Amino acid sequence: MREFRFGVVAESVRDGARLIETAKEAERLGYSTLLIRDHFVTEPFGDQLSPMLALTAVAAATTRLRVGTLVLSNDYRHPVLLAKEAATLQHLSGGRFELGIGAGWLLDEYERAGLPFDPAGTRVSRLSESLSVLDGLLSGEKVTYSGTHYRVRDLSVFPPAPRPPLLVGAGGKRMLRLAGRVAEVVGILPIALPGGSISDAMSERSAETMARKVGWVRESGRDVELSQILSFELTDDHRAAAERTARSRGWGASAADFVLDMPSRVIGSVTRIADELHRRRDRYGLTYHVISDRDMHAFAPVAAALR
Protein backbone atom coordinates (compact mmCIF):
# COMPACT_ATOMS: atom_id res chain seq x y z
CA MET A 1 0.00 0.00 0.00
CA ARG A 2 1.42 3.37 -1.02
CA GLU A 3 1.92 6.14 1.49
CA PHE A 4 -0.17 9.28 1.21
CA ARG A 5 1.13 12.44 -0.35
CA PHE A 6 -0.54 15.77 -0.99
CA GLY A 7 -0.12 18.39 -3.68
CA VAL A 8 -1.16 22.02 -3.98
CA VAL A 9 -2.45 23.41 -7.28
CA ALA A 10 -1.53 27.10 -7.50
CA GLU A 11 -4.74 28.24 -9.15
CA SER A 12 -5.15 31.60 -7.39
CA VAL A 13 -1.60 32.80 -8.15
CA ARG A 14 -1.44 35.74 -10.55
CA ASP A 15 2.14 37.08 -10.14
CA GLY A 16 5.67 35.95 -9.42
CA ALA A 17 5.88 37.16 -5.84
CA ARG A 18 2.71 35.31 -4.86
CA LEU A 19 3.92 32.21 -6.70
CA ILE A 20 7.14 32.03 -4.70
CA GLU A 21 5.35 32.83 -1.45
CA THR A 22 2.83 30.06 -2.09
CA ALA A 23 5.54 27.56 -3.00
CA LYS A 24 7.63 28.26 0.09
CA GLU A 25 4.58 28.01 2.31
CA ALA A 26 3.55 24.71 0.71
CA GLU A 27 7.05 23.39 1.35
CA ARG A 28 6.98 24.61 4.96
CA LEU A 29 3.63 22.93 5.53
CA GLY A 30 5.00 19.63 4.25
CA TYR A 31 3.16 19.29 0.97
CA SER A 32 4.76 17.05 -1.64
CA THR A 33 4.20 19.02 -4.83
CA LEU A 34 3.26 22.41 -6.22
CA LEU A 35 1.33 22.07 -9.47
CA ILE A 36 0.18 24.54 -12.13
CA ARG A 37 -2.60 24.17 -14.69
CA ASP A 38 -2.14 24.80 -18.42
CA HIS A 39 -4.66 27.32 -19.73
CA PHE A 40 -4.50 30.60 -21.60
CA VAL A 41 -8.13 31.67 -21.18
CA THR A 42 -9.50 32.96 -17.91
CA GLU A 43 -12.46 30.64 -17.44
CA PRO A 44 -13.00 28.31 -15.67
CA PHE A 45 -9.93 28.46 -13.40
CA GLY A 46 -8.80 32.08 -13.57
CA ASP A 47 -5.72 33.50 -15.26
CA GLN A 48 -2.70 31.20 -15.11
CA LEU A 49 1.04 31.72 -15.34
CA SER A 50 2.84 29.74 -18.02
CA PRO A 51 3.48 26.44 -16.21
CA MET A 52 6.96 25.40 -17.31
CA LEU A 53 8.48 28.85 -16.76
CA ALA A 54 6.69 29.35 -13.45
CA LEU A 55 7.74 25.94 -12.16
CA THR A 56 11.37 26.69 -13.00
CA ALA A 57 11.15 29.71 -10.69
CA VAL A 58 9.52 27.57 -7.98
CA ALA A 59 12.24 24.94 -8.23
CA ALA A 60 14.92 27.62 -7.84
CA ALA A 61 13.22 29.04 -4.74
CA THR A 62 12.68 25.73 -2.90
CA THR A 63 14.76 22.73 -1.88
CA ARG A 64 12.45 19.76 -1.26
CA LEU A 65 9.17 20.66 -2.94
CA ARG A 66 8.41 18.77 -6.14
CA VAL A 67 6.95 20.70 -9.08
CA GLY A 68 4.46 19.48 -11.63
CA THR A 69 1.94 20.29 -14.34
CA LEU A 70 -1.75 19.48 -13.82
CA VAL A 71 -1.95 18.93 -16.71
CA LEU A 72 -0.45 20.14 -19.96
CA SER A 73 -2.66 19.91 -23.02
CA ASN A 74 -0.82 17.75 -25.52
CA ASP A 75 -2.14 19.77 -28.45
CA TYR A 76 -0.42 22.97 -27.30
CA ARG A 77 3.16 21.65 -27.66
CA HIS A 78 5.00 19.34 -30.01
CA PRO A 79 6.41 16.40 -27.99
CA VAL A 80 9.99 17.17 -29.06
CA LEU A 81 9.72 20.73 -27.72
CA LEU A 82 8.03 19.47 -24.56
CA ALA A 83 10.72 16.82 -24.05
CA LYS A 84 13.40 19.49 -24.31
CA GLU A 85 11.62 21.70 -21.76
CA ALA A 86 10.90 18.78 -19.43
CA ALA A 87 14.49 17.54 -19.51
CA THR A 88 15.73 21.05 -18.77
CA LEU A 89 13.32 21.54 -15.87
CA GLN A 90 14.16 18.10 -14.48
CA HIS A 91 17.86 19.04 -14.64
CA LEU A 92 17.42 22.51 -13.10
CA SER A 93 15.18 21.22 -10.31
CA GLY A 94 17.54 18.45 -9.29
CA GLY A 95 15.08 15.74 -10.32
CA ARG A 96 11.96 17.24 -8.69
CA PHE A 97 9.77 17.59 -11.78
CA GLU A 98 6.60 15.58 -12.51
CA LEU A 99 5.27 15.85 -16.06
CA GLY A 100 1.48 15.86 -16.12
CA ILE A 101 -0.21 15.73 -19.52
CA GLY A 102 -3.63 15.09 -21.02
CA ALA A 103 -5.42 15.08 -24.36
CA GLY A 104 -6.94 18.58 -24.04
CA TRP A 105 -10.65 19.24 -23.54
CA LEU A 106 -11.61 22.93 -23.33
CA LEU A 107 -13.34 23.88 -26.60
CA ASP A 108 -13.44 27.62 -25.87
CA GLU A 109 -9.67 27.68 -25.47
CA TYR A 110 -9.05 25.86 -28.75
CA GLU A 111 -11.42 28.13 -30.66
CA ARG A 112 -10.06 31.39 -29.27
CA ALA A 113 -6.49 30.28 -30.02
CA GLY A 114 -7.41 29.18 -33.54
CA LEU A 115 -6.53 25.56 -32.86
CA PRO A 116 -8.55 22.73 -34.44
CA PHE A 117 -10.64 20.90 -31.84
CA ASP A 118 -10.51 17.41 -33.28
CA PRO A 119 -12.84 14.62 -32.15
CA ALA A 120 -11.91 13.01 -28.84
CA GLY A 121 -10.67 9.85 -30.51
CA THR A 122 -8.20 11.84 -32.61
CA ARG A 123 -6.95 13.83 -29.63
CA VAL A 124 -6.44 10.65 -27.59
CA SER A 125 -4.60 8.96 -30.49
CA ARG A 126 -2.36 12.01 -30.81
CA LEU A 127 -1.63 11.92 -27.07
CA SER A 128 -0.77 8.22 -27.28
CA GLU A 129 1.79 8.92 -30.00
CA SER A 130 3.14 11.91 -28.10
CA LEU A 131 3.66 9.78 -25.00
CA SER A 132 5.69 7.29 -27.01
CA VAL A 133 7.96 10.06 -28.28
CA LEU A 134 8.24 11.66 -24.84
CA ASP A 135 9.04 8.39 -23.12
CA GLY A 136 11.85 7.61 -25.55
CA LEU A 137 13.40 11.08 -25.51
CA LEU A 138 13.15 11.53 -21.74
CA SER A 139 14.63 8.07 -21.18
CA GLY A 140 17.79 9.24 -22.96
CA GLU A 141 17.20 7.29 -26.17
CA LYS A 142 17.89 8.40 -29.71
CA VAL A 143 14.38 8.28 -31.12
CA THR A 144 13.07 7.51 -34.55
CA TYR A 145 9.29 7.43 -34.69
CA SER A 146 6.78 7.45 -37.51
CA GLY A 147 3.10 7.71 -36.67
CA THR A 148 -0.06 9.29 -37.97
CA HIS A 149 0.49 12.53 -36.06
CA TYR A 150 4.24 12.75 -35.30
CA ARG A 151 7.41 11.86 -37.13
CA VAL A 152 10.83 12.06 -35.47
CA ARG A 153 14.11 10.89 -36.95
CA ASP A 154 17.36 10.07 -35.16
CA LEU A 155 16.78 12.61 -32.36
CA SER A 156 17.78 12.86 -28.71
CA VAL A 157 17.39 15.69 -26.19
CA PHE A 158 19.81 17.62 -24.02
CA PRO A 159 20.40 17.90 -21.09
CA PRO A 160 20.48 14.30 -19.95
CA ALA A 161 18.46 13.91 -16.76
CA PRO A 162 16.55 11.18 -14.95
CA ARG A 163 13.23 10.63 -16.71
CA PRO A 164 10.55 12.58 -14.81
CA PRO A 165 7.51 10.62 -13.64
CA LEU A 166 4.59 10.89 -16.04
CA LEU A 167 1.15 11.82 -14.75
CA VAL A 168 -1.71 11.39 -17.19
CA GLY A 169 -5.03 13.05 -16.39
CA ALA A 170 -7.93 10.90 -17.61
CA GLY A 171 -11.66 10.46 -17.23
CA GLY A 172 -12.86 8.12 -19.98
CA LYS A 173 -12.27 4.39 -20.49
CA ARG A 174 -9.80 4.68 -23.36
CA MET A 175 -7.79 7.42 -21.66
CA LEU A 176 -7.71 5.58 -18.32
CA ARG A 177 -6.51 2.39 -19.98
CA LEU A 178 -3.82 4.32 -21.84
CA ALA A 179 -2.74 6.05 -18.63
CA GLY A 180 -2.56 2.74 -16.81
CA ARG A 181 -0.19 1.38 -19.48
CA VAL A 182 2.25 4.28 -19.68
CA ALA A 183 2.09 6.59 -16.65
CA GLU A 184 3.57 6.41 -13.17
CA VAL A 185 0.65 8.49 -11.84
CA VAL A 186 -2.94 8.57 -13.09
CA GLY A 187 -5.04 11.60 -12.22
CA ILE A 188 -8.64 10.37 -12.24
CA LEU A 189 -11.08 13.01 -13.48
CA PRO A 190 -14.73 13.34 -14.46
CA ILE A 191 -15.16 12.51 -18.13
CA ALA A 192 -14.66 15.22 -20.77
CA LEU A 193 -17.70 15.76 -22.96
CA PRO A 194 -17.64 15.91 -26.78
CA GLY A 195 -18.81 19.53 -26.66
CA GLY A 196 -15.60 20.65 -24.96
CA SER A 197 -16.43 20.73 -21.25
CA ILE A 198 -16.10 18.50 -18.18
CA SER A 199 -19.13 16.50 -17.12
CA ASP A 200 -20.99 17.79 -14.06
CA ALA A 201 -23.17 14.69 -13.89
CA MET A 202 -23.94 13.29 -10.46
CA SER A 203 -22.99 9.82 -11.69
CA GLU A 204 -19.43 10.97 -12.46
CA ARG A 205 -18.93 11.68 -8.74
CA SER A 206 -20.20 8.33 -7.47
CA ALA A 207 -18.31 5.61 -5.66
CA GLU A 208 -19.33 3.10 -8.31
CA THR A 209 -17.88 5.24 -11.10
CA MET A 210 -14.59 5.69 -9.25
CA ALA A 211 -14.31 1.94 -8.71
CA ARG A 212 -14.98 1.32 -12.41
CA LYS A 213 -12.36 3.89 -13.46
CA VAL A 214 -9.76 2.44 -11.13
CA GLY A 215 -10.49 -0.95 -12.64
CA TRP A 216 -9.70 0.34 -16.13
CA VAL A 217 -6.39 1.77 -14.90
CA ARG A 218 -5.49 -1.48 -13.17
CA GLU A 219 -6.11 -3.64 -16.25
CA SER A 220 -2.47 -3.15 -17.25
CA GLY A 221 -1.27 -4.90 -14.08
CA ARG A 222 1.24 -2.10 -13.42
CA ASP A 223 1.80 -0.51 -10.02
CA VAL A 224 0.39 2.97 -10.71
CA GLU A 225 -0.07 5.79 -8.21
CA LEU A 226 -3.67 7.09 -8.23
CA SER A 227 -4.41 10.77 -7.79
CA GLN A 228 -7.41 13.08 -7.69
CA ILE A 229 -8.30 16.69 -7.02
CA LEU A 230 -9.88 16.70 -3.57
CA SER A 231 -12.42 19.08 -2.10
CA PHE A 232 -13.13 19.10 1.62
CA GLU A 233 -15.02 20.81 4.40
CA LEU A 234 -13.86 20.89 8.02
CA THR A 235 -16.86 20.77 10.32
CA ASP A 236 -18.16 19.14 13.49
CA ASP A 237 -21.47 18.27 11.80
CA HIS A 238 -20.68 16.28 8.66
CA ARG A 239 -24.31 15.31 8.08
CA ALA A 240 -25.55 18.91 7.95
CA ALA A 241 -22.62 19.89 5.73
CA ALA A 242 -23.39 17.04 3.34
CA GLU A 243 -27.02 18.13 3.13
CA ARG A 244 -25.93 21.68 2.29
CA THR A 245 -23.62 20.41 -0.43
CA ALA A 246 -26.36 18.22 -1.90
CA ARG A 247 -28.81 21.11 -1.98
CA SER A 248 -26.24 23.45 -3.56
CA ARG A 249 -25.70 20.90 -6.34
CA GLY A 250 -29.41 20.69 -6.97
CA TRP A 251 -29.59 17.08 -5.77
CA GLY A 252 -31.76 17.68 -2.69
CA ALA A 253 -30.90 17.14 0.97
CA SER A 254 -31.83 13.45 0.66
CA ALA A 255 -28.60 12.96 -1.34
CA ALA A 256 -26.47 13.61 1.76
CA ASP A 257 -25.35 9.97 1.94
CA PHE A 258 -24.28 10.15 -1.70
CA VAL A 259 -22.20 13.27 -0.92
CA LEU A 260 -20.56 11.60 2.09
CA ASP A 261 -19.59 8.67 -0.14
CA MET A 262 -18.23 10.79 -3.01
CA PRO A 263 -14.56 9.77 -3.48
CA SER A 264 -13.47 13.31 -4.44
CA ARG A 265 -15.00 15.08 -1.42
CA VAL A 266 -14.44 14.63 2.32
CA ILE A 267 -16.39 16.28 5.13
CA GLY A 268 -15.94 16.33 8.89
CA SER A 269 -13.36 16.84 11.59
CA VAL A 270 -9.64 16.33 10.97
CA THR A 271 -9.89 12.86 12.48
CA ARG A 272 -12.97 11.90 10.47
CA ILE A 273 -11.43 13.12 7.20
CA ALA A 274 -8.17 11.28 7.89
CA ASP A 275 -10.09 8.08 8.65
CA GLU A 276 -12.18 8.52 5.50
CA LEU A 277 -9.09 8.95 3.31
CA HIS A 278 -7.67 5.76 4.82
CA ARG A 279 -10.89 3.96 3.84
CA ARG A 280 -10.70 5.35 0.32
CA ARG A 281 -7.11 4.23 0.01
CA ASP A 282 -8.22 0.72 0.98
CA ARG A 283 -11.24 0.85 -1.33
CA TYR A 284 -9.78 2.49 -4.44
CA GLY A 285 -6.02 2.86 -3.95
CA LEU A 286 -6.19 6.68 -3.95
CA THR A 287 -3.11 8.06 -2.21
CA TYR A 288 -2.10 11.29 -3.98
CA HIS A 289 -4.60 14.07 -3.27
CA VAL A 290 -4.35 17.57 -4.73
CA ILE A 291 -6.05 20.57 -3.12
CA SER A 292 -6.37 24.23 -4.08
CA ASP A 293 -3.78 26.69 -2.80
CA ARG A 294 -6.69 28.59 -1.23
CA ASP A 295 -7.20 25.65 1.14
CA MET A 296 -3.66 24.55 1.89
CA HIS A 297 -3.56 26.02 5.41
CA ALA A 298 -6.95 24.61 6.37
CA PHE A 299 -6.04 21.16 5.06
CA ALA A 300 -2.53 21.07 6.57
CA PRO A 301 -3.60 19.33 9.83
CA VAL A 302 -5.20 16.51 7.81
CA ALA A 303 -2.08 16.11 5.66
CA ALA A 304 0.09 16.09 8.78
CA ALA A 305 -2.09 13.42 10.36
CA LEU A 306 -1.69 11.15 7.32
CA ARG A 307 2.00 11.60 6.57
- Kindly report, residue by residue over 12-51, the tens digit of the pLDDT: 999 999 999 999 999 999 999 999 999 999 999 999 999 9
Q: Which residues contact 216 (CB under 8 A, 6 or more apart)?
A: 173, 176, 177, 180
Q: Does residue 123 contact residue 104 with C-beta atoms inside 8 Å?
A: yes
Quickly name the fold that domain 5-230+280-294 has: TIM Barrel (3.20.20)
- 302: preceding bond cis by omega (within 30 degrees): no
268 contacts 235 by C-beta, under 8 angstroms: yes
Q: Cα(183)–Cα(100) distance, rounded to whole angstroms?
A: 9
d(CA 100, CA 50): 14
Is the separation of the CB atoms in 168 and 187 below 8 Å?
yes
CA 291, 293, 299, 303 dihedral sign is positive
The tens digit of pLDDT for each residue in 191-248 reads 999 999 999 999 999 999 999 999 999 999 999 999 999 999 999 999 999 999 999 9
Residue 288, strand partner residues: 5, 227
CA distance 281 to 71: 23
pTM above 0.75, yes or no: yes
